[in-house]
Amino acid sequence: MEEKKNWKKFLILELSITALLMIAVAAVVAFVDPFFHYHAPLRDFSYIMDNERYQNDGITRNFEYDALITGTSVSENFRTTLADELFNVTSVKATYAGGYYKEIGDGERRALEYNDNIRLVIRSMDMYFAMTETDYRNPQAADPEYLYDNNFLNDEAYLYNADVLFEYVNSGIGRTVNGVPADTFDSYMRFAEDRPLGAAYVLPYVRDNEVTGAEIHMTDEEREMLTANVRANLTANIAAYPDVEFYYFFPPYCIADWYTNHYVKGDIPALIEQMELVTEEVLKYDNAHVFCFYDDTDIITDLNNYSDLQHYSGEISDLLLRYMANGEHELTLDNYKEYFDNVENYYTNYDYSWITGP
Amino acid sequence: MGFLSLQFIFFVPVVLVLYYAARKSGKNELAKCVLTAASMLFFALYGWDSFLILVLSCAFNYLYSSFLSKNKKPAYLAAGIVINVLPLLVFKYLNFFGENIAKITGTEYTGVSLILPVAISYYTFQMITWCVDSYRGETKGIPVLDYLAYIWFFPRMVMGPITRHDEFIPQINDPAKFKPDPENIATGFLWFTVGMSKKLLLATRFSGASLYGLGMGSELGMAEAWLCSIAYTFQIYLDFSGYCDMAAGVSKMLNLDIPKNFNSPYKAESIGDFWKRWHISLTSFLRKYIYFPLGGNRKGRARTYINMMIIFLVSGFWHGANWTFIIWGALHGILMIIERLTWDYLKKIPKFIRVAFTFVLVNIGWVFFAAPNLSMAVDVIKEMFRFDNIMPAVQFYDTFDMGTIPFIRYHLNIAIPLFYVITFVCLQCTKNIYDKKYKPNFLTALAAGILFVWSFLYANGVSSFIYFQF
């Protein structure tokens, strides 16, 4: 009988300790909330911000801001402090490296739904991520649905997660104690300082293929697919939020990219037609702006601005923000045809021989 | 719903409360209904297709067993077994047979895309035991509710242990087991926690090295080949026995004991001894329902060895539709025969050498078991005996994902070999958790709580149990 009593006491103790620890872990994670899933950041906590797919939704939902910088990795080097200064806004960055139009469009829509104060969106439009079905997502990218689905019943994956507890909460506490400031949006996902620039790093990405001499144009099926994708994932948000200014831009890939991914294949005409189509669709709306920098050939042809075929330096990222703030390189319904004709002409007739070398 | 989810952690207490409430009210049939309904819900959450196939199998076997108990003809029993095995053959082995027949005949075979119903390998064997026992007249008078509670019992539904009706049904009718027992609930929780920590804290640590080894194949160095194969040897035991501990723990909370599936298998002194300690319920099934009916060891030496080979080939084939499993089974069969033939000499070798040698043989066997194809298995084994590259590459150490642990991250080349040694020593020296007597004190409660929460933190993003695929 005595033994039974002991076991009863032990059982209560065992379950109580377990329950308390379970509650404590969830409470600590929810209180610190390193992915900003429940609330805005604590004022004095040193947050580690380095995981966009996990932190973006919380950022767009719980931060105070009126401008959103989004897009793929080509937007990651933008400094929000510069954007704030140039556009007179308070901006946050929520980018999706390798993100297709659907992923970025969804993130942008959710931000607009959460935050009525948004008045400016800056977003990249990568053509490499454009030609897909409307609901295509990057299959290799992390997809923490539990952070995006507004269903608290599956939040266990966040609340009871060793990575979150040890790498974000615990390390964050350590940084806070040591007086390390929280990461900022200038540094959030920025890689400009980590990657060396120049021909030595860009040219290895150039494939040694022979120029086909072909002249490939966009097919009717591609036109249909791209139109549907742009309407579903780009212009739907523009149409739904007429009071918000949308600054969309074609990221300036380098001359080596033009060569190896387009000139060699002969699909420069198709690429130009795609960019024209996107421009036409976006410019149907008065609150939308489209920027394209391929006419700034000083940038494009200087490989010292690039760490690979597509990614440009921090300085160029700053310059693009300045261009957009000043309205430079902006396409309008009046000038875009001529603009793309010139771009096509330039990159079709460019002397690429130095890229492949003797 | 898997064992490693918060839903399951809430599901179990709800089932316990409802089950014991029904028992307390004196409505024992209701208690069985609660158990069956909970089990069905648990299983249905794996998918309706698997659920419906099991419902059909369950209904067929109950009706057919009534028929069998009245019509005891071997042909009817054989028909019952064939009808049970047929879905398994179709869902799991159709493409394997198709591909191999096509290879032999030089024709082309286009694979058929079929679902693999969850737990089909396990419940097929369980249904066979029911059929055979019905034929033997052992299931006569068992009510349908008892049958349902037995077949669907959720803690061991998905990955065993394979349980015979006479190991389970008497327990649900035993009045001594109707009241909640704090000792059993507390002990069951401890077993569950230990099982979860085996899976989440240990098995997953070794899984990276196993995958690395199978990815590298012939590019492995000798040390890496051994370390990766041993990683799998540890992983598969910790993974499967972890699951069994969890299943046994939940059963224990319900005052129900399920058969012990493991008994420190890496302490085995011989291959024969290993099979008395590894996946015991499968070995028992094969002995009782295949080996003995074939004549066991009663029909001379040659027949004994043939019968042994048969059960090991069946065991290998049961694990999966791949030649790697068949070779693994054959290897164990051959080793068992050699052992029998040479036992008079082997038994004179000091015990620790026999234990070490058995471990090495079992470890080599697991390479076939783990490899996606035979050539990969042969590549890894070749590297194990190619005497070069005795230092593992940095990438090998990285697979343990210990690079963020303070201090340890700077000493991975010491910490990881030490991790192997500690694991091996624990597997050799610690007592089986079922035989341990736990002290109901504060420290045990605290240790259980910490271990439970610590393990559960690693539940997210973890792949399913290895034996789930079988």
Query: What average pLDDT does this structure show over B195-220?
Result: 91
Does the pLDDT at position B157 exceed 90? Answer: no
A17/B182 Cβ within 8 A? no
Query: DSSP for B48-105?
Result: HHHHHHHHHHHHHHHHHHHHHHH---HHHHHHHHHHHHHHHIIIIIHHHHHHHHHHHH
Tokens standing for residue B463 = 């792949």
Check if the beta carbon of residue B348 is closer than 8 Å to that of residue B331.
no
Q: Name the least confident of A327-341, B132-146, B325-339, B350-364.
A: B132-146
Taking 80 as the threshold, does the pLDDT of residue A154 lie above it?
yes
Which of B441, B450, B456 is facing A160, going by the closest CB pair?
B456
Residues A267-291 pLDDT 10s: 999 999 999 999 999 999 999 999 9
Structure tokens, B417:
């070999």
* The predicted structure's pLDDT at residue B409: 80
B277-330 pLDDT per residue, tens: 999 999 999 999 999 999 988 888 999 999 999 999 999 999 988 999 999 999
Checking if the pLDDT of B469 tops 80, the result is no
Please choose, from the candidates A340, A48, A315, A103, the residue with its C-alpha nearest in 3D space to the C-alpha of residue A229: A103
Predicted local distance difference test score (pLDDT) of residue B466? 63
Q: What is the mean pLDDT of residues A142-146?
A: 87
Q: How many CB atoms lie within 10 A of CB B118?
A: 21
Residues of chain B with a CB closer than 8 angstroms to some CB in chain A: 5-6, 181-183, 185-186, 189-190, 404, 440-442, 444-446, 448-450, 452-453, 456-461
* The two structure tokens encoding residue A289: 């702006």
Per-residue pLDDT reduced to its tens digit, A30-44: 999 999 999 999 999
User: Quick one: tokens of A18?
Assistant: 């377990």
The shortest C-alpha distance from A57 to chain B (Å) reads: 20
* Chain B residues whose beta carbon lies within 8 Å of the beta carbon of residue A20: 449
What gap in Å lies between CA B95 and CA B109, rounded to an integer? 8
Answer whether A8 touches B (CB < 8 Å): yes
Please give the model's pTM, rounded to 2 decimal places.
0.87
Residues B95-114 pLDDT 10s: 999 999 999 998 988 888 88
The answer for residues whose C-beta is within 8 angstroms of residue A202's C-beta and 6 or more apart is A254, A256, A303, A306, A307, A308, A309
Coil vs helix vs strand at A291: strand
pLDDT for the residue numbered A119: 97
Non-local CB neighbours of A90 within 8 Å, separated by 6+ positions: A64, A65, A66, A67, A84
More confident call, B3 vs B254: B254
| Stretch 24-63 of chain A: residues touching chain B, C-beta under 8 Å | 25
**Which residues in B lie closer than 8 A to residue A29 (C-beta atoms)?**
none
| Chain B nearest CA to A14, separation (Å) | 4
Q: Do A14 and B448 make contact, defined as CB atoms within 8 angstroms?
A: yes
CB contact under 8 A, A14 and B460: no
Measured at the CA of B244, the angle between CA B20 and CA B33, to 5 degrees, comes to 30
**pLDDT tens digits for range B445-458:** 999 999 999 999 99
A23 close to B (CB below 8 A): no
Pinpoint the alpha helices (H) of B106-221.
Answer: 120-135, 144-152, 154-157, 165-172, 182-197, 204-216
Percent of chain A with pLDDT over 70: 99
B397-420: average pLDDT: 86
User: Nearest residue of A to residue B404 by CA position?
Assistant: A167
The distance of B14 to chain A (nearest Cα, Å) reads 14
pLDDT at B436: 85
In the predicted model, is pLDDT for residue B122 greater than 80? yes
The 10s digit of each residue's pLDDT in A41-75 is: 999 999 999 999 999 999 999 999 999 999 999 99
pLDDT at B461: 58
Q: Is the pLDDT of residue B403 over 80?
A: no
Which residue of chain A has the CA closest to B454? A162
CB-based contact B189 A157, cutoff 8 Å: no
Cross-chain residue pair A10–B457, CB shorter than 8 Å = no
What is residue A222's predicted lDDT score, i.e. its pLDDT?
96
| Cβ pair B328, B369 in contact under 8 A | yes
- B-facing residues of A in 132-171 (CB < 8 A) are 156-157, 160-162, 165-167
> With contacts defined as CB-CB under 8 Å, which chain B residues touch A8?
182
Question: How many CA atoms, within 13 angstroms, populate the side-chain half-sphere of residue B323?
Answer: 8
Q: Across the interface, do A14 and B453 touch by the CB < 8 Å criterion?
A: no
**Closest-approach residue (CA) in chain B for A8:** B182
Say whether the peptide bond before residue B161 is cis (omega within 30 degrees of 0): yes
Q: Which residue of A has its CA nearest to B6?
A: A156
Sign of CA dihedral A259, A262, A264, A266: negative
- Cross-chain CB nearest to B449 (options A4, A17, A160): A17
The DSSP letter of residue B199 is I
Rounded CA separation A129/A98 (Å): 8
Choose the weakest-confidence range: A122-126, A213-217, B53-57.
A213-217
Average pLDDT over every residue of B162-183: 94
B457 contacts in A (CB within 8 Å)?
Answer: 25, 160-162, 165
Q: pLDDT at position A335, please?
A: 96
Closest partner residue to B449 (CB to CB) among A4, A7, A18 is A18
| Whether pLDDT at A357 is above 70 | no
Give the catalytic positions of B in this structure.
319
Q: Do B453 and A4 touch (CB under 8 A)?
A: no
In chain A, the percentage of residues whose pLDDT exceeds 90 is 89
Highest mean pLDDT among B50-59, B133-142, B289-298, B407-416: B50-59
C-alpha span between B88 and B123 (Å, rounded): 10
Check whether A209 has a pLDDT greater than 80. Answer: no
Average pLDDT over residues A96-102: 95
**Minimal C-alpha gap between B169 and chain A (Å):** 26
Buried b (16+ CB within 10 A) or exposed e, B187-220: bbbbbbbbbbbbbbbbbbbbbbbbbbbbebbeeb
Enumerate the β-bridge partners of residue A248: A123, A290
Please report the pLDDT score of residue B435 as a whole number.
87
Per-residue pLDDT reduced to its tens digit, A185-207: 999 999 999 999 999 999 999 98
Cα–Cα distance measured from residue A27 to residue A29, given in angstroms and rounded to the nearest whole number: 6
**Cβ of B445 and A10 within 8 Å?**
yes
A49: closest CA of chain B, how far (Å)? 17
Residue B470 reports pLDDT greater than 60: no
The ipTM estimated for the assembled molecules is 0.86
Amino acid at B181: D
Residue of B nearest to A160 (CA): B457
From CA A346, how far away is CA A343, in angstroms rounded?
Answer: 5
For chains A and B, CB pairs below 8 A equal 70
Q: Are residues B448 and A18, on separate chains, in Cβ contact within 8 Å?
A: yes
Look up tokens 């693999």; give the residue: B116
Q: Report the residue from B5, B445, B458 with minimal CB separation from A14.
A: B445
Say yes or no for a CB contact (<8 Å) between A4 and B445: no
- Could you give the percent of chain B with pLDDT greater than 90? 76
What integer best gives the mean pLDDT of chain B? 92
Q: Reply yes or no on whether the pLDDT at A330 is more than 70.
A: yes
Q: Report pLDDT for B406.
A: 73
